[in-house]
Every structure is written in structure tokens, then in C-alpha cells.
Structure 1
């Protein structure tokens, strides 16, 4: 599908399959175990209906919003995504540049394909950095110092990665570290010569934030590094320690329970990032939109709240904000676009979502993001069940 015929995020999802081998599209689309949570994210969003209003003056409709004191052109932020290099050699830098040009924010993943220092000059003050608690505290401390030196003002804590996930699509393709794909994947990969060419001639597939002997981690070195540094013992004491070390904004990602949300705020979190990793980590948990109202109630205005999980349309953004989110985040939509056409495609994906969000705001009769509240929902939702 040519880029000019792409008019939706789902178009980019389908188009990306023509550019990526099947083992990579399954990695991108897949979730944990039976993928119940992956499906639930979309199903719960689709089930919510919005209330159309008529004869509203929309001549001064604006989509800008404020996140942690910073103004952005729309309440949509790029969620942290690791291994973007396997989709396109433009990797994090391409997505970051497109995000900045769209007036958005880019969150650099702790498992990114390129180093934080490479993205920082591109993203500037629109850069947030994800940090993980490693077994060797010097690794975590070193990354915090690097973030501070790069001018980062907001850290995003990976709060729910202590347990390992089981993604059966990946296991069937032998996507371990290093990968051991079956013969059929060599055949299907051979049918994507453009991807092979990019892989051979473009940016090498590495974990750019970390190194062995001064060199970025190669994919076949990740198991060795993780065996040494993974920290299943990370807990609230580590978060409290980080709060003492970091005088900027602190957001915690992976919150799915109101008790955890309240605890995070008590420990000094400035932002609560509701996320189930798009269903990629723990299956059989609720959709993010379903837990949003209870977390909003628990936080009670003491911190900002962000949500990802299944965001594919502008009206999804209206639904999340209507239930109390400050802004939404999305990952897969921009990965689909990156795989399809690099930075220009990511920029177009932003425009698609921006235009859809603006249209949805008009239909529900709101001219400012701050006006979006429970009144945007149709009565058939029995919205009192959510709040």
C-alpha cells in the first residue's frame, strides 16, 4: 500500500506487513500467552460510545494541552518502545524527530536501539527518559547522570518488569537472545529483501543505552548482560531512593491498580502511567481504559495520569481524557508507520491522529482539551459503572 493511500493507523499496520518478515510482524503485534489483554484493550475502547452535540461554535477549536507544565500541540505522547531498529534503521531518532515536529513528546526506552545521547539533540525539551532499576546500582546511577547531562527533565520508571513475560508467537519464531528462527522464517524473511538490505547496510541492531567494554550491546549479548543486571528485587524503596536522587519530574509506568497508584503518589510520583504494555507482559489483566476511573479516583488530582493500550483513533483519545486521563500515549501506531516508511510515515501517523482527535472534539462539542470530561459519553454507556 502506497503511503498516499494510507488514511488510518490500521492502514499502517497492514502496510507494515509488506515491509517486515512475519517473525517481526508477530513480534510487533503479539501479546503474552492467549493475548486476552491485547484484545481487551481494543474491545473496551470500542465499547464506549460518545455523545454527539450539534450547533456548537467550533471556529476556535484547539487541541493543545499541558503536561507536567509543558505545552504540547495535542495530548498524545510516544510511549517507550525498545528495539525500534528491527523495524527501520531510522529507529528512535526518526520517531523522536517526527514527534517533535508534531509538537509531541518522545519517551526514550531503557531498551532502545540507540543511546539517549543520540536522541537528546533531536528531541530537546520534548524528551523523557525511561529508567530501570538494575541489580548493579551503578548502572542505574550512571543512567540517571547521563539523563541529567542530556537535559532530561522527566524520568519514567519501568515499574512492572520484574517478572518475565511469555510471548508464544516469539517462541514459535525462535526470537530468543540471540535469535534461533526455524527454517520457515528464513524463507519468509527472504521474501522481504528490502528489510534484509536495511539490516545489512543500515544501523546495526543493538541495545544502544548499555555497553560491554564500551561497545553498544549486540542482540546476541543481551542474555549475558541481563543475567548479570536484571533485578527482580526492585521495590518501592528503590522508587523512594530515586525520588531523593532526582529533582525533576518522576513518572511511574505499569500502574494498573488504584492502591499502587495512591502509593506511587505518596512516594513522590508526579505522573501515573497506566499501562499493560499492550498486553505484552501479563495476560488476563483488564484493559487500561477499564481501570482508569478507579485510578483517577485514588489519585484524586494529586498527580497527572497517562494511559496507553490500544489507542488507534482520535476518538480513543477523547474517551481516555473524558474518563480522567491528562494525556494518552501510543507505541504500536508509530512502530507500524516507522516500518512502513520511516520518519515521513511517522509524521503522517501523527497527523492522522491529530486530525481525528480534532474531529472527535468537534463532534462532542468541546473546543478545548480541558473541557473534555464525563459529559462526552453517551447515556447508553451507563457511564456511572465506570466512575
Structure 2
């Protein structure tokens, strides 16, 4: 199976099964056993098509006489895939993109459909510079209008377009070195031996940006427990908690485990970390991750974050509370989020507030409650914190140190944005319980 076939199979799975692109792609890459180079191409194609779907359809409609909705769904998948290569991937000859699309058309939809695909994409290649460009931000950056409105309210007019543009970029793959398992010198030597290109992250300690690494789980360093994958914004949220060896820590919504892993490393794998999640399969993944990294201080626990545990009451030095959210900070990694209905978002602050309220009961006097989300909507972030503080006079926001590259200090709360900080969109708030 080649890169384009893998990409098409992923797009079909997303459409038919409603699968998330990242999970569907991971499954297809595992099946296809592509080289690193081809895996990178397949990834670029899948994300590129999903990230630019509205714009691609806008341009295709100028090339197809009938309504796009009347086409076989797989034909539309193939047309989008072909047009994306023609318009956005200069290193791929248009003839190669067209020919491959025609072959896919023959295989999946028959000769008549292949003829249509051939005509449309050859026209697109000839008219590349004259293809219509969308005037609205929504179509230009392929974000539904209601989502654009929501994001405008969150970041303001000046940052809106840079934010939308950042959502259509491929997010860098950032791994965190496990300092308890491997020295930096041995870590870099192992990456070189595996021919994985790595550069140090500009401000996050022990973080490395990988390029052309292929499937990370196939790297020998992965099996050795030398690293785990985590965005620098999520890593910063654990650093903000100010953990120290010997502490007792609770990670309320822990899966897939990155924050628990970071906490264990900050605590030199001493003390104890209770890592909770409501889903058994996620707890199993977390346990496997901790075992792979050689971390013994983590105890996975099947537990609903909103259900009270009397044995945890006022027992924790720090509680990490990374609540379920709209995920609008990780659109570049999960581009299909933009197509999900927004109706349910209004209920999230109530759920988040309930989990934060419950988590606060576990913090000892003088301890830390760290609230975080991977969204940029104020109502899920500072709004939830403000509502909590209004009812809890024994907690207050506490400023935390940040790398100089992130600018001036903070009042205990910080929102990171892809176009400003190069990270996921992320909210961090450090709360301290009075002694």
C-alpha cells in the first residue's frame, strides 16, 4: 500500500465510521507498514484534505458541473485528495497527482467516475493560478461560520486569522526525554542511530521536536522508555504546579497519562501519584505507559472525577485537574473537531465546575490545585475558575514561573495560543489553598 492509498483509506474510514483522523491514520499506517518518507506524505495528505475541506470543495464546485453532493462520496474523497496535491504540494508533479487519482477512481468507483476525475483534475492543474479564492475566513480556512464566530469572541479580531491559519498547519511532534531512564547524550545518540531528526524545543526543558521520525512506537528508544509524547503547553501545566520529591499527588482526569508521567519525573519517581480516569481501557493504556517508562510512583485508579472519595479528602499536596473540554485548542492535531456540532459546548462549564469543586476537597491546607484545559474559550477557563473562587474564599490564584520566551509573568492564570506560543491552545491556572 502506498502513501496515497493509505491517505484515501483513512479519509474513507473517517467518513464512514465517524472516526477521528489521528486514530484512523494511526491504524492505517500500522497496516500499511510504509517507509518513514511515505508515512509522512500520507499524514500530510490526510491532514491537508481535512484541514482544507471547505476551501477544496469551493474550488471543486467551480470545476464540476453538477452539485458536489450528487457525486459518489468516494469520488469526492479522491477529488479532494487530488486537488490538495495540485494546489498545496508544489513538490508533487500535477501529472502524478492526476494519474494516481484516476487509478483510485477506477478501483473504487469505476471507469466513468475515473473519467470525471481525470477531466476535473486536469482542468484544475491547467487553471491552478486562476482557481477562485474564497473571500470569507470561514471558507478560506475551512472552519464553519459558527466556529469562526466563537473563536473571534475568544481571541479578538486581530488574532483570529493567525489562529485559523495555525489550525491548518501540521503540528510539530514534540517528545519529552525521560531523564530518569536516559542521559541527554545517550538519548541523542539513540535518535541519530534511528535516523530520526531532532531539534531542541526553544523553551521547554528536555523537549525535542522530531521530524521524519515515522511511527514513534517503532523507535528503539520508545521501547526503552526513553521518551513520551507531550505538547509543551501540557508539560508547562505540570511544571506550574511546583512539584517536589516525596509529594502526594492526585491526577483527577489522567488519561492518556502525560501529566502523570511528567509529575513522576519532576518528583524523581518518589512520593505517590494517584492517576484517575473514568474509562477502563484508558486506565490500562496509562498503566502500560508508566511501566514502559519505568515509573513506579504512579498508581492507576478507575474513578469518576466528579464523584467524591472520602479517603482522598485533604490528603493531597497537589491535585492536577485537567478537565474534559471542547478541545478547541487542539484543532490542528484533531482537524475534525471543527466539524463537530457546537450545541453541547454550553453545558461544559457546569461539568468542569463540578469536577473542579470535587477536586478541591482533596487538597490539603497549603496545597496546590492546578486547573487546565486544551481549549481557548474563556467560559471554560477563567470563567470556571472565577465561579469556583467566588464560592471558595480559602483558595487564591498564585503566579507561577514561565520561560522567558513566553513573555512577562502571570497572575496565576495563562492562556497559550498556537500562533503566539507555537503550542496547543491551552489554559493553565494555579490555585493555592490557604493554610
Answer yes or no: same fold by TM over 0.5.
no
**TM-score, structure 2 as length reference:** 0.27
- Structure with greater contact order relative to length (CA < 8 Å, sep ≥ 6): 1
| Higher Rg of the two aligned structures | 2
Calculate the TM-score normalised by the size of structure 1.
Answer: 0.29
